[in-house]
Amino acid sequence: MSKEVLIHWPSGQSSRCTSGRDWLAAARDAGFSIPTGCLGGSCGACEIDVNGTTIRACIATVPPSKSGELTVELATDPYW
Ligand code: FES
């Protein structure tokens, strides 16, 4: 069963997306770009925090959300 979720991106934008969609595709739809490296789940470049849980965006899909909303933060500080 897929459900629509409202995603809040680190850029301050929000987008609607159906759960089950690839994170990278969902980000692209929203005009947000998640940094990537290997695209195979091993390097960790694409890690994002989703409602406080770190996931690897290249191998994960948008989960359903009870509240209907998900907040995304970049797991890696881009300014180091
Ligand atoms: S791009 Fe390497 S783990 Fe996702």
Average pLDDT value for residue range 1-7? 86
Q: How far apart (Å, rounded) are the C-alpha atoms in residues 58 and 50?
A: 14
CA distance 32 to 63: 18
pLDDT tens digits, 25-37? 999 999 999 999 9
**Tokens 């907040």 belong to residue:** 71
Per-residue confidence (pLDDT) for residue 20, from 0 to 100 = 96
pLDDT in tens, 35-54: 999 999 999 999 999 999 99
- Domains recognised in the chain with CATH numbers: 4-74 (3.10.20.30)
pTM > 0.85: yes
Query: Are the CB atoms for 48 and 75 separated by under 8 Å?
Result: yes
What would the mean pLDDT of 7-15 be, rounded to a whole number?
96
| 3-state SS record for 16-53 | EEECCCEHHHHHHHCCCCCCCCCCCCCCCCCEEEECCE
Report the residue among 42, 54, 61 best suited for mutation to probe ligand 1: largest number of ligand atoms under 8 A from its CB.
42
**Residue to mutate, 46, 55, 61, 74, ligand 1, most ligand atoms under 8 Å from C-beta:** 46
What is the structure's pLDDT at 30?
Answer: 96
Q: Which residue's alpha carbon is at the smallest distance from atom 3 of ligand 1?
A: 41
